[in-house]
Amino acid sequence: MQSAVIIRYCEIHLKGKNRSYFEKLLKENIKNAVKDIQCDFVAMHSRYLLENFKDEDLPLIEEKLKKTAGIHSYSIACVVESNIENIYGAVSLLLKDKAGTFKIITNRADKTFSPDSMQTSVLLGGRVLEEYGDNLKVDVKEPQIPVYVDIREDGKTFVYTETIHCMSGMPVGSAGKGLLLISGGIDSPVAGYMMCKRGMRLDCLHFHSFPYTGEAAKEKVKTLAAKLAEYNGGINLYVVSFTHIQEEIHKHCPEEYMITIMRRFMMRIAERLANDKGAQAIITGESLGQVASQTIESITSSNSVVTMPVLRPLIAFDKIDIIDIARKIDTYETSILPYEDCCTVFLPKFPAIKPNLEKVKKAEAKLDVQSLTEEALKSIEKITI
């Protein structure tokens, strides 16, 4: 019996006259996700189908769909010709060896099909009880096993029992492009995932402080970027040498302002790179009050050196919320590997929690900000994943 994957979206339904743009983008993203799998893609009203794939490829198809933003859910359906005998054959196959309560739910897009939807459900349900009545009982209110029978206009019927929920959100690319500041920690990959879910395509920027942070720390970030790339349709990771900037800050600036000034340099470099690569926003994994550099005063200090929007999708999340998502997207175990990132280099004992902006500017004036920024930008290494 032939199988098909029915793919559904939700938010796109709300897009009115612009709906076709989002549908087309989601269609291309799905095709790109399964491009290495032999199957046929079919566009239907408000949903898509994948057909004619090998059974052994189904687990990979499911994995790809679960990581494609804009997909609300999918179902794996049996596909049969639209007559009662064939439809019941599919229903019987899906309920074989099952136990509990069930309900047949028929949708009859083909209004020429007889009997009508209600009568079809009654007829199929009766035959199920005749064949499997020892193990299955009808419950029309809260069935344990809903059986969906979708009779289409083209003479085909889809029969399935399960709906698997996916990322939902909007298709990647529909909300522009952003530059994610990615460290080796837990928060920034989650922030990237959240923006992919809202339709923003990402590039990543990582600050590397060799020899204070080693090659293993860089490889860790590459692994995290690769995991994000699965949700982003590929990704560009830019690695900037940050060592000289940190050494100069350590040498010339008050210890309590080191992290604040370091973050201001990161923002300057990020904005320059974002403008060069066509990104429209900077994205960080900051959560309000989580650490000293994420108080409202510290965030205000960082924001003051750029004009580009800075998006902080985790700003109101607590650490447990963030860890839950990190586990879900399989970045947590990589993030907790014990390799230091640049934020742990020259770490002050007592960083300023509420830095005074005028004092920060005065401390920063001891540095050649322009020269150090230009030097860092010249060190950029691009890694395409």
Angstrom distance (rounded) from CA 114 to CA 108: 9
Strand partners, 204: 180, 237
| Pair of tokens at residue 307 | 């004009």
DSSP state at residue 382 = E
Question: In angstroms, rounded to a whole number, what is the distance separating the alpha carbons of residues 140 and 180?
Answer: 48
Would you state the pLDDT for residue 314? 97
User: Which tokens hold the place of 287?
Assistant: 């959560």
HEC sequence for 128-159? HHHHHCCCEEECCCCCCEEEEEEECCCCEEEE
Q: What is the pLDDT along the chain (385 residues), one digit of tens a residue?
A: 799 999 999 888 888 888 999 999 999 999 999 999 999 999 988 899 999 999 999 999 999 999 999 999 999 999 999 999 999 999 999 999 999 999 999 999 999 999 999 999 999 999 999 999 999 999 999 999 999 999 999 999 999 999 999 999 999 999 999 999 999 899 999 999 999 999 999 999 999 988 877 888 899 999 999 999 999 999 999 999 999 999 999 999 999 999 999 999 999 999 999 999 999 999 999 999 877 778 999 999 999 999 999 999 999 999 999 999 999 999 999 999 987 666 666 666 778 889 999 999 999 999 999 999 999 999 999 999 9
Show the tokens assigned to 150: 């979708």
Q: State the pLDDT at residue 345.
A: 64
141 within 8 A of 42, measured Cβ to Cβ: no
Are the beta carbons of 179 and 218 closer than 8 angstroms? no
Buried b (16+ CB within 10 A) or exposed e, 333-364: ebbeeebbbbbebbeeeebbeebeeeebeebb
**What is the Cα–Cα distance from 336 to 318, expressed in whole angstroms?**
17
Quick one: pLDDT at residue 304?
Answer: 96
pLDDT of 342 reads 61
Half-sphere exposure of residue 170: CA atoms within 13 angstroms, side-chain side: 17
Cα distance between residue 311 and residue 303, in whole Å: 11
**CB neighbours of 81 closer than 8 A, spacing ≥ 6?**
155, 156, 157
Paired with 230 in beta bridges are: none
**DSSP per position, 171-234:** -TTTT-EEEEE--SSSHHHHHHHHHHHTT-EEEEEEEE-TTTS-HHHHHHHHHHHHHHHHHHTS
